[in-house]
Structure 1
Amino acid sequence: MNKFSFIVLVLSITTISAQSKDKEKEEFECPPNSGNGNFADPVTCRRFYQCVDGYPYLNRCPSGLYFDDVQKFCTFKDEAKCGPIATTASPVTEAPSDIAQRCNPAECELPYCYCSKDGTNIPKDLNAEDIPQMILLTFDGAVNHNNYPQYMKVLGGKYTNPNGCPIKGTFFISHEYSNYLHIQNLSYTGHEIAVETISLQQGLQDKGYEEWVGEMIGMREILRHFSNISNSEINGMRAPFLKPGRNTQYKVIEDFGFIYDSSIVVPPNKVPSWPYTLDYKIPHECKSGTCPTKTFPGVWEVPLNTHYVESFEGGICPYLDQCVLHNHDPEEVLEWLQEDFSRYYEQNKAPYMMAFHTNWFQIKELEQGLHKFLEWATSLPDVWFVTTTQALQWITDPKRNKELNTFDAWDCRKQTTQTQRPCYNGNKCGLAFKSGNVTDTRYMETCRECPNKFPWLGDSEGTGISGRDNYIYQSKEPAPSEENENEKK
């Protein structure tokens, strides 16, 4: 083959390859009636499509990461469930009944009830300039060696609140791949531990009461047993994929003593929503279509206001890592976050929730941009980074800015935790795990002794006895018996 023929051949292959890629993008169609979201590339797990208003934007996972079509974000290869994964609609177990009434402020008073007509009113009708701007850093999924160092760069004490206390965050924990020594250390140092679910199964929103109990209470029991975190310190939960379980999930929250849920997404609004109790109908559109329709008096909803910046590339998203900021440099990420934040800070100061998955911290520009934002935000005199429970403590008993330095709920010198000091070297457990017809090994680390098998639904302590757990009539606190003996050791 002469030189000219070789060049022609290369150009032809390149053209065919480019045309093929363009065709792939053209042929991908966002699923109808699915709204906005991330979807697996049918060709490779290294890419995914973000659908925004029905248009697909092609994105690549950061180097070394793969798109998980169950959890809908990029993660590590051994954790990723490659797609596209076919989904089958599960039968709805409960017919929605729209019996919750609209907010009646005259009959809804703090600290036990809070609502407003459109969800945007400040508690006690305080003036925005007199109250703190709360920022809620929340982290979803497993905590392990892959992300713990990045989380500690944020929450390890470098950044402080106006009272000198280190900023705090909330972790919604899922079980698989979690390191319970790391989780125990987070709880011991004052960060909030909440539950997502054990399995992060799809379609849970359509499952029944027992399934929700097994997932939520089972996850709480795993945290109690393997991270030594008291049930009374686990106050909140978040539904997988932000798909609330209609009335069923909230009945479990009510029955088993949780204080709040944080699963409901607020559509893009110019004025953000404040948390509210479920004594009345939710004050905004339910994007997921699976929100509660009955009343659950005293149960708090801490909603995820949608992030967006008008006239700026990035899209809209409840989780910050789902906005398309991958091509921005750290300064542009900072500017985007500042503009998004200003919608809260310059209006009603509703809590600014910054919700993350682990993949945000695998992109250098995003991580650096976040740290620039933290440096800027912690320099403001009325901005406080608090846990979700600390935010609710303020909402139920609002304080003006001048009172916050003596506000016990935010004073690290007066906070106590029931979580034991973690051990220096945990037990590293390699445990048998069966999923369908496949038997695999899962690894976990804990200060406790290694269980017989990998803890899972129905067997939260990993005894190897399937269906051992029974939570139907269990109170929030465990009976003092073997558990207390273990704690004494």
Structure 2
Amino acid sequence: MFRIYLFLIVLVCQCVAIPLTKCQQGVNCFLPRCFCPTFDHPMNLSDIPQMVYFGFDDAVNSQMANHYDFLFLKDNLTNPNGCPISITLLVSDEFTDYSILKRYYQHGFELGVHSVTHTHINTGDKVREEAGDQRDNFVTQVGISKYDVVGWRSPFLITAGDQQIDALKQLGFKYDVSLIYTRPHIDNDDVWPFTLDYGWPFKCHNNRCPKQNHKGFWQVPINPLIDYTHEFTCAFVDGCAYKPRNEAEAYKYIMDNFYRHYNGNRSPFGLHIHAAWFETKHLRDGMNRAIHSMNELEDVYIVNIKQMIEWMKYPTKLSEIKTFDGLGCWPRDKAFLHILLMVLPVSSLFILVIALLVYVIRKLMFRSRHNDYIALNGKKHMNKLVHGSDDVEM
């Protein structure tokens, strides 16, 4: 009977411990390595910067560059900390002009991987091959360090589930931005980015979501937008069935979705998009107006995905954010730092060598001079020298 009671006690304890397998911030999940899925950030809303990020898919070429230059470069827009606004380019290989890509990287845009072939990549092996090969293209043709390439988006948002995350982690990637979060109601809050330490806890849009735990790997959910009629949702800016018919409607479409975040839970406002949408002039003009309107707000930062995740890992209050390195002026400052780090050791070694040479030369000169003098060893030697004796010991 005692054994039965003991068994029941152990069973109850195990049942009580089961909730601990659910992500609980500050209990079994700690920043910067882990962040639980949530609709409410622990920080006070008034202290949270509204981050806006763009994730552009597909090839980068002169046609698309016209739109990127017009929207993000021509007016030299900066965030409240004085650093240029930034975007993330999720790039596939075919039709990409890597010289243009290099220019954008040097300006401070983030480069993420969107595969080589832009096909259905639905196994871990395919993810590993496509992500690794396209990253290698960045390294060889752009001159970027492979450690700066940390993000992946699946073509057509067709994923490989847990195998995908395993493959990306093995390659050293830090985040995926391929999964859609579906709101229960059109006006509900959007979910914050989170780590997959406890898997994907929401309804799976394509039945290929990661069910296992992947410690420290960030999932940036695609929070659908609401179309300008406020009737339907769409994962991509250019994916809504009802497209804005003029600049005013395009502007309203973007700003209505922005204010859902800005006046809501302050979760990052993600604009997932194909630049071909801007081939229609009034759509590009509407987006341009929206970017300027958002940029005029002192608590709004237009950043790339990697920068946004840095803030997620190290949440910094608005009152202190202007000195937060994660949203700093990169890569200009970073490039300068790299040069400094490369130059300083060389210069230090050079100075050390010169100092040693000077020391050795002075030592040799001293010995040379010393050999020209007689060593006077005591009073006896002094007397012999004074009285003219020439048998003084040397």
TM over 0.5: yes
- 2:63 is aligned, of 136, 146, 156, to 146
1:210, CA displacement in angstroms?
2.4
Alignment-derived partner of residue 302 in structure 1: 220
Alignment-derived partner of residue 121 in structure 1: 40
- SS at 1:139's partner residue? strand
Q: Contact between 2:228 and 2:253, CA under 8 Å: does it hold in 1? A: no
Larger Rg: 2
For residues 72-471 of structure 1, what are the structure 2 equivalents within 5 Å? 101-105=21-25, 106-116=27-37, 119-122=38-41, 125-156=42-73, 158=75, 159-202=77-120, 204-205=121-122, 207=123, 209-268=124-183, 269=185, 270-309=188-227, 312=230, 315-412=232-329, 415-417=333-335
1:176, CA displacement in angstroms?
0.5
**Identical amino acids, percent of aligned pairs:** 29
Structure-1 separation of matches of 2:198 and 2:228? 31
Amino acid at match of 1:120: F
Q: 1:371 to 1:411 in 2, by over 3 A?
A: same
Structure-2 separation of matches of 1:140 and 1:302? 15
- SS at 2:333's partner residue? coil
- SS at 1:265's partner residue? coil
Q: Deviations over 1:432-471 (max 9, x none)?
A: xxxxxxxxxxxxxxxxxxxxxxxxxxxxxxxxxxxxxxxx
Structure-2 separation of matches of 1:109 and 1:143? 38
Q: Deviations over 1:1-25 (max 9, x none)?
A: xxxxxxxxxxxxxxxxxxxxxxxxx
* TM-align CA RMSD: 2.2
1:234, CA displacement in angstroms?
0.4
- SS at 2:55's partner residue? strand
Q: Contact between 1:157 and 1:167, CA under 8 Å: does it hold in 2? A: no
Amino acid at match of 2:272: A
1:238, CA displacement in angstroms?
0.6
Q: Contact between 1:188 and 1:417, CA under 8 Å: does it hold in 2? A: no
1:223, CA displacement in angstroms?
1.2
Q: Deviations over 1:45-90 (max 9, x none)?
A: xxxxxxxxxxxxxxxxxxxxxxxxxxxxxxxxxxxxxxxxxxxxxx
Unpaired runs of 5+ residues, structure 1, are: 1-99, 421-489
| Superposed structure 1 runs of 4+ greater than 4 Å apart | none
Q: 1:233 to 1:137 in 2, by over 3 A?
A: same
Structure-2 separation of matches of 1:345 and 1:282? 25
Q: 1:245 to 1:415 in 2, by over 3 A?
A: farther
Q: Contact between 1:408 and 1:415, CA under 8 Å: does it hold in 2? A: no
- SS at 1:107's partner residue? coil
1:411, CA displacement in angstroms?
2.2
Structure-2 separation of matches of 1:354 and 1:250? 23
Q: Deviations over 1:112-167 (max 9, x none)?
A: 00104xx2121xx1111211000001110000011111111122152221122221
Q: Contact between 2:248 and 2:286, CA under 8 Å: does it hold in 1? A: yes
1:355, CA displacement in angstroms?
1.1
Q: Contact between 2:228 and 2:252, CA under 8 Å: does it hold in 1? A: no
For residues 64-75 of structure 1, what are the structure 2 equivalents within 5 Å? none
Structure-2 separation of matches of 1:255 and 1:137? 26
- SS at 1:389's partner residue? helix
1:327, CA displacement in angstroms?
4.5
Structure-1 separation of matches of 2:217 and 2:228? 33
1:326, CA displacement in angstroms?
3.3
- SS at 2:334's partner residue? coil
1:375, CA displacement in angstroms?
1.2
Which of 1 and 2 has higher RCO (CA within 8 Å, sep 6+)? Answer: 2
Amino acid at match of 2:220: V
- SS at 2:66's partner residue? helix
Structure-2 separation of matches of 1:194 and 1:417? 19
Q: Deviations over 1:223-252 (max 9, x none)?
A: 111111110110111111112211111011
Q: Contact between 1:331 and 1:369, CA under 8 Å: does it hold in 2? A: yes
The structure in which a higher percent of residues are strand is: 1
Unpaired runs of 5+ residues, structure 2, are: 1-19, 339-394
Structure-1 separation of matches of 2:204 and 2:283? 29
1:361, CA displacement in angstroms?
1.1
Q: 1:325 to 1:333 in 2, by over 3 A?
A: farther
Q: 1:415 to 1:325 in 2, by over 3 A?
A: farther
